[in-house]
Amino acid sequence: MIPALAQSSVLAAQTAFPILPALIITPLLSAVAILLVPSHRQSEVRLVALAGSTITGAMAVWMMAAFDKTEAGFQFVVNEPWLTSMGLNWHFAVDGISLFMIVLTGILFPIAILAAVPQHDSKAYHAWIMVLMAGSMGVFMALDLLLFFVFFEVVLIPMYFLIGGWGHGRRIYAALKFFIYTMAGSALMLVGIVSLAFLTASRTGNALTFDVTQLAEAQALGTTAQRLIFLTFALAFAVKVPIFPLHTWLPDAHTEAPTAGSVILAGVMLKLGTYGYIRFGVYLFPQAAYDLAWIFLTLGVVGILYAAVVATMQKDLKRLVAYSSVAHLGFIVLGIFTLNTQGLTGSVFQMVAHGVSTGALFIMVGWVYERRHTRQIAELGGLQKPAPIFAAAFTLVMLSSIGLPGLNGFTGEFLILLGGFQAARWWTVFAVLGVILAALYLLWAYQRVFHGTPTGDNIDMPELKASEGLVLLPLLVLIVFMGVYPKPMLERIEPSIERLVAHVEANVDGFIEPGPVQVPERPSDAVTLTEALEEAEKKAAREEGEVEDSVDEEGREASLAEGETTK
Amino acid sequence: MMSLFAQVPVSTPEIQWFYLAPILILALGGVLLITLTSVAPVMRGRHISALFTVATGVLALAFLPFIAARLDGLVDPVAGQGGRPAVDLVSSALVVDHFTLWVSGLISVAVILVAVMLDGYLEREGFESPEWYALLLISASGGVILASAEDLIVTFLGLEILSIAVYVLAALHLRRSESQEAGFKYFILGALSSAIFLYGIAMVYGATGSTTLTGVAGSMTGRNAAGLSPAVDSSLVMVGIALMLIGFGFKVSAFPLHIWTPDVYQGSPTPIVGFMTSAVKVAAFGGMMRVFLVGFGGTFASDWRVLVLFMAGFTILFGSFLAIVQTNIKRTMAFSSIAHAGFMLVGLYAAASPVAIGDTGKRAVLFYLLAYTFMSIGTFAVISIVGKKGDGNHSIEAYRGLAKREPLLAMAFTVLLFGQVGAPFTAGFFAKFRVIAAAAQVERTEAYILAGVAMLGAAVGAYLYLRVVVAMFLDVQESPSTEMADSADETLALVEVRALEVPPATLAVVLLAAVVTLVLGIFPDIGSGALAEAALALVR
Amino acid sequence: MMSSALLAIQSTNPIALTPNELWVINTFFYVIAAVGIVAALKMVTTKNVVHAALYLLVVLTVVAATYIVLGAEFAAATQVMVYIGAVMVLLLFGVMLTRAKIGDDGDLDYDSKWIGGLSAVSMFAVMGYSLWEAFGTDELPADMAVQRTGQVANSIFSQYIVPFEALSMLLLAALIGAVVVARRD
């Protein structure tokens, strides 16, 4: 389906329709519409939310189809004045880096809405989700530094309400911790942003601007200033990602959040941090990013290993998944700070892959909780017996999270490790350990939850419903598709990444891609990269048998179940 | 003795009444109100006083665009500092320029909004008193005088008119001893700070031989090799400036002169607190900016701005951190208003920078005042409603479940609180952004540190607003099973909230404030022309 | 600089002082200053409210005397009439009419007095130092001007008309305030 769309992109080209503002305004309008629905008609509230998010998602997919994959620069540009005296603009655009973030947002939101029904206050819940969707869209397309900051901060508010209002257990504590942590992290970034703009303006003599491309091209800062400002950005993103040791808010927020909140938090909001590193950290401060890369490489690797170890010890299934997120994001950070095409491309790909697979994991953990009213691993067991399809779907998602070749998790991780071996060999060696550990804790958790003989309430574990299967299906398809045929994605990501790497090369003394510790000849471009990847996948193709089985089984059962309901 | 009478007749100065309109309208409005209500019993109706006050405020406001137009049309501005249109009035006692107009506008708006919410408040509390409104108007006229004063004596008198009326207003809830105590405390400390302020004026006069701002500024130009100004005695001037900073610092409740704020805010009638955080702050900052930037903006700016730097940093930290432990919402908001004053001081610090960029700082402060006027009045209008009869229901617990009972009120309050947090797409965000931008533009290490401290303070301060939001939204669904002990209290709280009476006019104030907060946050360009003009008027 | 500072209201009729006369004036000033300081200290340390009021009266009188030394007869006369004549009487009335204790009151103390005293002393030190540094060695000019009451009146109604009017607003506000606060309903 996607390659077909890719070919039709020639037709769509660049239309006059302001697709990017529409992606923000549509969810906002549906939020308003939700508020206008009389509160006793709960089902219509859900319908409006679903319609709004689906339309937005469809527009995002359409945009991906219309995206010109030969163009490395920004597309669908909208640039309107905002606060003229301070040089602020409503500047939106997408390139290969942000494109899939937007598509991911568009796909995950309707699924998150479908995946769980709020216990109460359906109206407010859905309105906040739609506001969150608008905000998330805004972050990924903003090219005015302050506009980005605004969206970066604004997503906190709906998320705060979602966790605090519809979460579990110590939700108020978790919501406050989440809000204050992230707000404190980004507080200094505002100082960094204005300092960057004013310093650039006074060094270059140009008018004050917050435009990302102009600031990146100017590169007017001295070494110290660039490093300090980079660190203010890095701190904000590090809290958001989160990078060890700033991750402590995440397990709380994830565990207490409602299912939709967890899905969006893991799928979209954590990516704000890693996306920020690529778009703003590396692009605006190439020299500082290069000089200080070792810090982030180290923290990334430490995060991978630490989170893996901690995840092994978790008693709560959702908390375990949360820690696995920390580990995965450590990989993404590692990939980013290799500063070469493979690593960065892998990171962007992995961001999407992680969004899909962890989103699916959280949805399924949410269903386990709905059915069994507990997430304690010790209280679950043998669920495979009463709910084999559920278990099969869970297996697939989990294997993708582990990074099994042929599934989406593998592609990204492989590219990251490929880039890592060229740029930062020793860090990567340790990171590989993380891959093994991931297999360990996820499989062990799977074994404890699904294998064995069911006891107590576990015997009556309800099977995956057809409706639930349909909700999950797009994610499962994506997991497999992205793993088997990543080319359509990679060929859109790569030009932009190469442009970014060229920018880094041009602005960093003595840096030649793909890295300082490296083979003299750089693997030239997309073709080699994709080929290398396919090569690696062919090797792994044999292992795929069982996975394919479970997919088939899942799809068959789902259609069967559907048949039953129609009867 | 004969020689005395034989002197030439006194040459009274020419007065351009038109430019004086805002001051005259507000002051005469107050006098007229007290006179009319004394002689005509018909006028004593409650709503009539409020209506009269609103009309007075609107009239004062309506004059401003015409004065602005007249100012812009001036062929040869009398006191056109740096070529900006300005009119010197009554032998250089007052000056009317775009800065004056901006401040007058904000004060008038504050008068209107506070009068509206005062109406509902007085009705609930069973007071039947035109003097509340008269004092409000007189105080506002003092505020406008303060901000347009061109002579330090007038500055002092403006400050005193502004303050005396507010001291009384603070004590005016005669049935609450807290109110009396607040008024008394405010009065004693305020009188002390006024005395110190006056000392400062005397010192500056002693050193420069002038009380007019232009005279003071004129004698302070240049420095000799030893770093001393050739014309005036440096230490005398510095002490004078420092003492005046204390006087203004008290009024805007800046560290270390903020101690009175929580007690006074807690005790005073809530709408009056709204007036204190809006009109009084606007006027005090207006006067402070004019005196410090025009009068002391030259040679000595690099000295006093260091004081302002420390004041700003500590004010923000104290305001933000001490607010965390409060359980009374009025005390919480008092600390928040201290923190906001700190932010405005950051702008003032930037405005005093020697580079030709002080403009950003001035605009930052002026925009902050605009945003904070609406946000704080709206906030205190909500607090006034929730305070209930007796004006004593002010624990944060009292907000439990407000979202369920009064969704509209709670929603508007949420917007206002998030505005004060500085959340994006609210006026508060751009207020903070402008301040931080101004500080960054100074391009000095200490300015960056100050900006960092300010933002960290903002992040910490977010907690205090969120606690209220939490109480409004999140606690409502607490299932009874969670804590048995709590559930009884909770039902009680719900019952209490149900009994809330919401005067439509006060609700309108809240909604207006919330809408302005949002609109300024989404379209920050609104009014930036007037803002730029106002900032440019303060030429150093 | 000095003369311009002290003589903002220019006199048309300067009076020349001989060194002898200056010496007399200085001595007089030191005497009344000493009296003023002692009275001020007693005022804040006495535990008797009426005594405190009477000491305040002495302080205000000393201020009036200082005005005379500076050649400001009008200000001195106003000081005597308004503060000593009216305000003090009101204050004493107030003390008597309220149920304040007339004799010694052991409770009349303040916990933070040392902090207050310390800040007062430090403020005195700073202001004293800066005044001393600015004017320490200066002497009053020989052609010391004496301001005439008529000139005061003239300037009030010309140059200082706005402060004058503002002052009336201030008094009005205070008046309304006093009435409202005093009234019990």
C–B contact: 3+ Cβ pairs < 8 A: yes
How many structural domains is chain B composed of? 1
Q: Is the pLDDT of residue B59 over 90?
A: yes
- Residues B173 and A166: their CA atoms lie apart, in Å, by 42
Closest CA to A104 of A493, A523, A505: A493
- Enclosing H/E stretch for B95: strand B94-97
pLDDT, position B474: 60
pLDDT, position B337: 92
Summarize the confidence of residues B228-236 as an average pLDDT.
Answer: 64
Q: Cβ contact (<8 Å) for A83 and B432?
A: no
What percentage of chain B reaches a pLDDT higher than 70?
87
Q: Cβ contact (<8 Å) for C5 and B12?
A: no
- Residues A20 and A138: their CA atoms lie apart, in Å, by 8
Q: Taking CA A93 as the corner, what is the angle to CA A91 and CA A98, rounded to the nearest 5 degrees? A: 130
Summarize the confidence of residues B441-462 as an average pLDDT.
Answer: 87
pLDDT, position C105: 63
Q: Cβ contact (<8 Å) for C158 and B207?
A: no
> pLDDT grade, residue B161 (50/70/90)?
very high
**Cβ-contact B275, B337 below 8 angstroms:** no
Length of chain A: 567
Most confident of B307-311, C147-151, C167-171: B307-311
Residues whose CB falls within 8 Å of the CB of residue A370, separated by 6 or more in sequence, listed in order: A116
User: Helices in B352-426 by DSSP H: which ranges?
Assistant: 358-387, 402-405, 407-421
Summarize the confidence of residues B14-32 as an average pLDDT.
Answer: 87
Listed by start position, the domains of chain C span 2-147, 149-185
- Nearest C-alpha in B relative to A146: B433
Q: Does B365 map to a domain?
A: yes
Domain that holds residue B298: 16-537
Q: Cβ contact (<8 Å) for C133 and B206?
A: no
- Residues A283 and A226: their CA atoms lie apart, in Å, by 12
Q: Is the pLDDT of residue B485 over 50?
A: no
> pLDDT grade, residue B519 (50/70/90)?
very high
Q: Is the pLDDT of residue C38 over 90?
A: yes
pLDDT, position A275: 92
- Residues A469 and C109: their CA atoms lie apart, in Å, by 80
Residue A179, chain B, CB below 8 Å: the answer is: yes
User: Which residues of chain A fall short of a pLDDT of 50?
Assistant: 1-14, 515-527, 542-567
pLDDT, position B417: 92
The answer to whether the peptide bond before residue A81 is cis (omega within 30 degrees of 0) is no
**Cβ-contact B373, B282 below 8 angstroms:** yes
Tokens of A121: 């206050």
Residues whose CB falls within 8 Å of the CB of residue B509, separated by 6 or more in sequence, listed in order: B113, B116, B117, B377, B378, B381
What ipTM describes this predicted complex? 0.84
Q: Does B2 map to a domain?
A: no
Q: Is the pLDDT of residue C11 over 70?
A: no
What percentage of chain A reaches a pLDDT higher than 90?
6
> pLDDT grade, residue B323 (50/70/90)?
confident
Q: Is the pLDDT of residue B89 over 70?
A: yes
Q: Coil, strand, or helix at residue C139?
A: coil
**Cβ-contact A369, A318 below 8 angstroms:** yes
Test mutation, B402, B411, B455, chain A, max A CBs within 10 A: B455
Nearest to B474 among A81, A165, A187 (CB): A165
pLDDT, position A525: 45
Q: Does B235 map to a domain?
A: yes
- Nearest C-alpha in B relative to C7: B209
Q: Cβ contact (<8 Å) for A188 and B456?
A: yes
Strand partners, A199: none
- Residues B364 and B431: their CA atoms lie apart, in Å, by 7
Tokens of A265: 């938090």
Q: Are strands B86-89 and B94-97 parallel, antiparallel or unpaired?
A: antiparallel
Q: Is the pLDDT of residue B481 over 70?
A: no
Mean pLDDT score across all residues of chain B: 83
pLDDT, position C14: 52
Residues whose CB falls within 8 Å of the CB of residue A397, separated by 6 or more in sequence, listed in order: A357, A360, A361, A364, A475, A476, A479
How far CA B321 is from CA of A438, B340, B348, B446, in Å, comes to: 42, 13, 22, 21
pLDDT, position C35: 94
Which chains have 3+ CB pairs within 8 A of B? A, C
pLDDT one-digit tens code per residue, B412-432: 999 999 999 888 889 999 999
Q: Which fold has domain C2-147?
A: Four Helix Bundle (Hemerythrin (Met), subunit A) (1.20.120)
Place of tokens 């690593």: A343
Tokens of A234: 């890095």
Q: How far is C165 from chain B (nearest CA, A)?
A: 10
Write out residues 28-47 of B within 8 Å (CB-CB) of C.
31, 34
Q: Are strands A89-94 and A75-81 parallel, antiparallel or unpaired?
A: antiparallel
If one compares C21 and B478, the residue with the highest pLDDT of the two is: C21
Distance of CA B255 to the CA centre of its chain: 16
- Enclosing H/E stretch for B505: helix B504-522
Q: Cβ contact (<8 Å) for A164 and B524?
A: no
- Residues A419 and A336: their CA atoms lie apart, in Å, by 9
Which chains have 3+ CB pairs within 8 A of C? B
pLDDT one-digit tens code per residue, A510-549: 776 654 444 444 444 444 555 556 665 665 554 444 444 4
Nearest to B456 among A171, A172, A184 (CB): A184
pLDDT, position B355: 58
- Residues A159 and A452: their CA atoms lie apart, in Å, by 38
If one compares B61 and A378, the residue with the highest pLDDT of the two is: B61
Closest CA to A273 of A155, A144, A176: A155
**Cβ-contact B172, B166 below 8 angstroms:** no
**Cβ-contact C33, C58 below 8 angstroms:** no
Residues whose CB falls within 8 Å of the CB of residue B103, separated by 6 or more in sequence, listed in order: B143, B144, B147, B148, B282, B283, B286, B369, B534
How far CA B4 is from CA of C12, C150, C158, in Å, comes to: 12, 6, 16
If one compares B224 and C28, the residue with the highest pLDDT of the two is: C28
**Cβ-contact A391, A517 below 8 angstroms:** no
Q: Taking CA C177 as the corner, what is the angle to CA C176 and CA C183, rounded to the nearest 5 degrees? A: 90
pLDDT, position C144: 59
The answer to whether the peptide bond before residue B256 is cis (omega within 30 degrees of 0) is yes
pLDDT, position B131: 85
Contacts of B183 in chain C (CB under 8 A): 181
- What is the value of pTM for the model shown? 0.85
Which pairs from B312-315 meet CB under 8 Å and 24+ separation?
Answer: B312/B254, B312/B342, B312/B343, B312/B345, B312/B346, B312/B348, B312/B349, B312/B450, B312/B454, B313/B342, B313/B449, B313/B450, B313/B453, B313/B454, B314/B255, B314/B256, B314/B342, B315/B254, B315/B255, B315/B258, B315/B339, B315/B341, B315/B342, B315/B345
Q: Cβ contact (<8 Å) for A194 and B441?
A: yes
Length of chain B: 540
Summarize the confidence of residues B51-72 as an average pLDDT.
Answer: 90
Q: How far is B223 from chain C (nearest CA, A)?
A: 16
Test mutation, A28, A84, A86, chain B, max B CBs within 10 A: A86
Residue C122, chain B, CB below 8 Å: the answer is: no
pLDDT, position A38: 77
pLDDT one-digit tens code per residue, B288-316: 999 998 888 777 788 888 899 999 999 99
pLDDT one-digit tens code per residue, C62-118: 999 998 887 778 888 888 888 887 877 777 777 777 666 666 666 666 777 788 888
If one compares B245 and B210, the residue with the highest pLDDT of the two is: B245
Closest CA to B124 of B371, B398, B391: B391
Closest CA to B362 of B197, B519, B540, B148: B540
Q: Coil, strand, or helix at residue B73?
A: coil
Closest CA to C144 of C27, C13, C1: C13
Summarize the confidence of residues C112-135 as an average pLDDT.
Answer: 84
Residue B13, chain C, CB below 8 Å: the answer is: yes
Closest CA to A153 of A178, A120, A118: A178
- Residues A313 and A308: their CA atoms lie apart, in Å, by 9
- Residues A199 and C13: their CA atoms lie apart, in Å, by 61
Q: Is C9 exposed, middle or buried (0-12, 13-18, 19+ CB in 10 A)?
A: middle
